[in-house]
Amino acid sequence: MKKRRLGNSDLFVTELGLGCMSIGTEEKTAREIIEAALDEGINYFDTADLYDFGENESLVGKALKNVREQVVIATKVGNRWNADKSSWTWEPSKPYIKEAVKNSLKRLGTDYIDLYQLHGGTINDPIDETIEAFEELKAEGYIRYYGISSIRPNVIREYVKKSNIVSVMMQYSILDRRPEEEALPLLAEHGISVVTRGPLAKGLLSDKLLEKASEKGYLDYSFEELSKVLPLLKEKTAAARSFTEAALQYNLAAPAVASVITGASSVEQIRSNAAAVRSNPLTEEQAALIKEWTKANVYQEHR
């Protein structure tokens, strides 16, 4: 599987990464999914301390222990579970980040984290303090690089201006084109990579189409609009391929995108997504049609 450089780092990540949140809590099944990803050539594994109260990190660490030097492990920080684990609070402070990283390292069973990401962010955060925490962790050798997970333009701009982030994880798909107006061009200009999540829009951009649709619709799309747009897109852009292929290739066509992150709850999903990423890129005509028939979905808030 092809690899792309993550920002200005020396990390080269596969065009498809595994979002580990969906691998479950049963160790045998989780290991089978991760091993299938490795068999497909995937080297990029994304988790978070929030997932399953940290158990996800533990499962990922165990499954990758024997190939640690050959893979890129990314995890996230910033959401702190309360005492009874019924909810969490947002905590981007320096003391918390420097405490949390040690817990993640222990669960992952590793001496370092390749990519440590802030799991969210608001313009009211103590951003300078947060950046200082990541820079110190990098200098101390606990992490190799850091990034953020955000789709908020004002937050992204602050980190582009003030920090040494190498990546931004954000939701992006044919049905969610918000990043195209500002985020993707800005990050491409500064040599910062985008890692996309939600590229299949909760399964709407797979061959199951409306089987995955809610009566409430999706983002700015009503159910009625989805009923018209999805079959049309599939007909025009995926006539000789799966709709999943068209959807993932749409993301990979954006110059700033380094990798698309998809979840998987089965080995079959991993193999299907890997085949989709290995398929032929979209033609310029297909990409233009997608843009013509879909909404930009630009948020006016948080600008």
Coil, helix or strand at residue 284: helix
Using CA atoms, how far apart are residues 197 and 125, in angstroms rounded to an integer?
23
Residue 281 in tokens? 């890129």
DSSP 266: S
- Say which DSSP state 220 is in: T
d(CA 303, CA 27): 42
DSSP 294: S
Asked if 250 is an active-site residue, the reply is no
Q: Which residue(s) pair with 46 in the sheet?
A: 19, 74
Length of the chain measured in residues:
303
Q: Which of 51, 146, 172, 218 is catalytic?
A: 51
Tokens of 80: 């702190």
- Name the residues annotated as catalytic: 51
